[in-house]
Amino acid sequence: MNKSSLAFLVVLPLLFLGGCWSSVEINDRAFVRMMVLDKSEEGIELTLSLPLPSRLIPGQSGGTGNQNGKPYTFVI
């Protein structure tokens, strides 16, 4: 194996570390901030708290400007 093919094999994996694989907006992602487990009569109930990035900074691009809406939601 010559030096140029060895260098190619070393550099090739580094090309995949660029970080620009897909363009998914941060507002389209869901990040769980809190997880609550409750014991109920039916068993265990899981509640997730998720921030809503589009409501965190009103007036910015993507912000609704609605002060009445809370910047988080709970999913049961």
Per-residue pLDDT of 18-32, as tens digits, reads 666 666 666 677 788
Sign of the CA dihedral 7, 8, 9, 14?
Answer: positive
Q: What is the pLDDT of residue 63?
A: 47
Q: What is the pLDDT of residues 8-20, one digit of tens each?
A: 998 988 887 766 6
Supply the pTM of this predicted model.
Answer: 0.48
Question: What is the reported pLDDT for 48?
Answer: 92
Q: What's the distance, Cα to Cα, between the start and end of the chain in Å? A: 58
What residue spans of the chain are helical by DSSP H?
A: 3-15, 53-56
Digit-coded pLDDT (tens) for 32-67: 889 999 998 999 999 999 887 767 665 554 545 555
Question: Does residue 7 lie within any of the structural domains?
Answer: no
How many domains does the chain contain in total? 1
Phi, psi of 6 (to 5 degrees): -65, -40
Cβ atoms of 66 and 55 closer than 8 Å: yes
Whether 73 contacts 58, CB under 8 Å: no
Could you tell me if residue 9 is inside a domain? no
Q: In terms of residue numbers, what domain contains 65? A: 25-76
